[in-house]
Copies of this chain bind each other. A is one copy, B any other.
Amino acid sequence: MSRFWSQRTRELDPYVPGEQPKDSQYIKLNTNENPYPPSAQVLQAIQQASNGDLRLYSDPNADELKQTIADYYAVEKNNVFVGNSSDEVLAHTFVALLKHDKPLLFPDISYSFYPVYCRLFGIDYQMIPLSEHFDIRLEDYAIPNGGIIFPNPNAPTGKALDLPTIEAFLQQHPDSVIVIDEAYVDFGADTAIALVKQYNNLLVTQTFSKSRSLAGLRVGFAVGDAELIAGLERVKNSFHPYALSREAIAGASASIKDTESFESNRQKIIKTRERITPLLEQLGFSVIPSSANFVFAKPPAGYTAEQLYQQLKQQNILVRYFNAPRIDEYLRITIGTDDEMDALLQTLRTIQT
């Protein structure tokens, strides 16, 4: 600690990302990356953007990318906000739309970055416990609030709400901003983007890091009512106007246009998830039905999640273990390729014998 740190900085409890080992000895099932690379078209678009024009600033409005996303989701360009990762989009959202007098509400088991943003930006919050079976219950949110945010599907449970339930949330809270963090939506849930035209209090955030195989490019976006987006733009333009590089704009735009590899990869991942879920259950795991590119699984009796995480790591397989209340009996296992998942299953069998 330094005497030069601001008071806020002293009080921070920064987010701790999953391990990112620099060597490639591991089967990496710990940070929900896509096992399939971006397509040749996407890589080519990025490479083509890496030319002499890099001496010039990128478009501060990223119009090409915004228009591409708008066309894809049948909204207008001014319904779209883009940023350097969905973490950044969420950070600006907390500042612009979720800091009010009443507390922000989010599930107790959820993306662990939400309370980190609240501390960074001085936002009062209240965590609403999931049900015993890890469900978000609409009725528990019927209390005074300055906004509501939750992932759909939720993380790290993988459980999704259906659109009628989302719409019920919106109708229950017409005076609160509702942010749906759809980082994992492409793996089995329905996006709420179709509702933004009807509900001016809805903001949907998404990322290119998971279903679009571009975690290393750092691009995220939000879709919502034009006035909500204008608030995000005000904050972004008070923070760094040129948020996205030329490569990021080009690569993300190409990715949205490349529907074929997007569809193919996400279907492969869904298929692998459905194949390995019963196989994990056969090994004694309790697996929560997942709509995401991971499963949240409780090891069989006789194994603690923490031990099993360590044992798998010794066998060069990385999964995610959260040392946190209510979820420390579970492992979050990213869906990799079929070969990677078979290697995981084989290793689990070895450990168990």
Q: A residues near B, CB below 8 A?
A: 1-9, 12-17, 20, 22, 28, 31, 33-38, 42-43, 46-47, 49-60, 63, 84-85, 87-88, 91, 95-100, 116-117, 119-120, 175, 177, 200-201, 209, 213-218, 225, 227-228, 230-231, 233-235, 237-248, 251
Q: List 9 A-B contacts (CB under 8 A).
A: A2-B200, A4-B231, A9-B97, A37-B52, A37-B55, A87-B241, A120-B238, A215-B242, A245-B248
Q: Are B235 and A12 in contact (CB under 8 A)?
A: yes
Q: Is the CB of A209 within 8 A of B57?
A: yes
Q: Which residues of chain B are within 8 angstroms of A12 by Cβ–Cβ distance?
A: 234-235, 238
Is B5's CB under 8 angstroms from A97's CB?
yes
- Residues of chain B within 8 A (CB-CB) of A17 are 57, 60, 241-242
Q: How many copies does the complex hold?
A: 2
Given contacts A34-B55, A88-B239, 7 further A-B pairs with CB under 8 A are: A7-B99, A8-B99, A37-B53, A43-B50, A218-B245, A245-B245, A245-B247
Please name the residue on chain B nearest to A4 by beta carbon: B177
Which B residues are CB-close (under 8 A) to A85? 240, 242
Q: Which residues of B contact A120 (CB under 8 A)?
A: 95, 235, 238-239
In chain B, what residue has the closest Cβ to A39?
B52
Assuming the contacts A28-B56, A33-B56, A38-B52, asked whether A15 and B96 have C-beta atoms less than 8 A apart, the reply is no
CB distance from A87 to the nearest CB of B (A): 4
Contact B55 A20, beta carbon cutoff 8 Å: no
Q: Known contacts A120-B239, A248-B245: does B38 contact A55 (CB below 8 Å)?
A: yes
- Please measure, in the bound complex, the distance between the C-alpha atom of A162 and the C-alpha atom of B299, giving whole angstroms: 64
Q: In the bound complex, what is the Cα–Cα distance between A63 and B20 (angstroms)?
A: 12
Is B46 a contact of A227 with CB atoms below 8 Å?
no
The reply to whether A54 and B31 contact each other, CB–CB distance below 8 Å, is no
From residue A71, how far is it (CB to closest CB) to chain B in Å?
A: 18
